[in-house]
């Protein structure tokens, strides 16, 4: 495998994430960064089962290792990391909603 190509997307992602984050900091909007993780084998199964964008299947499969390499910095940058490997969508959305509500309440208390 050519590792010289796989390092570039990680750097681009970090730079892109920093640029987006800085943009949000210039607005009154709060940032609540959620990383939805899934084990690589399950991710590959989900990609193969995707009937909406089947044309992107191989590209997505080819980049799972890039995701795994980038995962440590993405986890450290996230406010909330949810392992979605064995969760239903309703459970994922509930966890996000509960955490978001908690942060909104804490922000309101900090202002008073």
Predicted local distance difference test score (pLDDT) of residue 112: 63
Average pLDDT, the chain: 83
pLDDT grade, residue 106 (50/70/90)? confident
Tens digit of each residue's pLDDT (9 = 90 or more) over 74-94: 999 899 999 999 999 999 999
Pick 23 or 41 by higher pLDDT.
Answer: 41
Section 94-111 average pLDDT: 87
Per the DSSP assignment, residues forming a β-bridge with 81 are: 35
Predicted local distance difference test score (pLDDT) of residue 108: 78
Predicted local distance difference test score (pLDDT) of residue 35: 95
Strand, helix or coil for residue 27: coil
Give the pTM. 0.72
CA 19 to chain centre: 16
Tens digit of each residue's pLDDT (9 = 90 or more) over 44-75: 999 999 988 888 999 999 999 999 999 999 99
Pick 8 or 23 by higher pLDDT.
Answer: 23
20: left (phi over 0), alpha (psi -120 to 50) or beta: alpha
CA 4 to chain centre: 24
**Residue ranges per domain, the chain?**
3-111
- Please provide the DSSP assignment of 41-52 as one string: HHHHHHHHH--S
């Amino acid at each position: 495998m050519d590792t010289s190509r796989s390092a570039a997307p990680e750097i681009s992602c970090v730079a892109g994430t920093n640029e987006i984050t800085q943009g949000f900091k210039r607005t009154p909007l709060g940032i609540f960064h959620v990383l939805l993780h899934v084990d690589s084998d399950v991710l590959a199964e989900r990609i193969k089962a995707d009937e909406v964008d089947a044309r992107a299947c191989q590209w997505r499969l080819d980049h799972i290792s890039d995701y795994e390499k980038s995962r440590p910095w993405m986890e450290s940058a996230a406010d909330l990391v949810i392992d979605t490997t064995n969760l239903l969508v309703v459970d994922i959305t509930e966890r996000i909603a509960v955490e978001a509500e908690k942060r909104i309440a804490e922000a309101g208390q900090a202002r008073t």
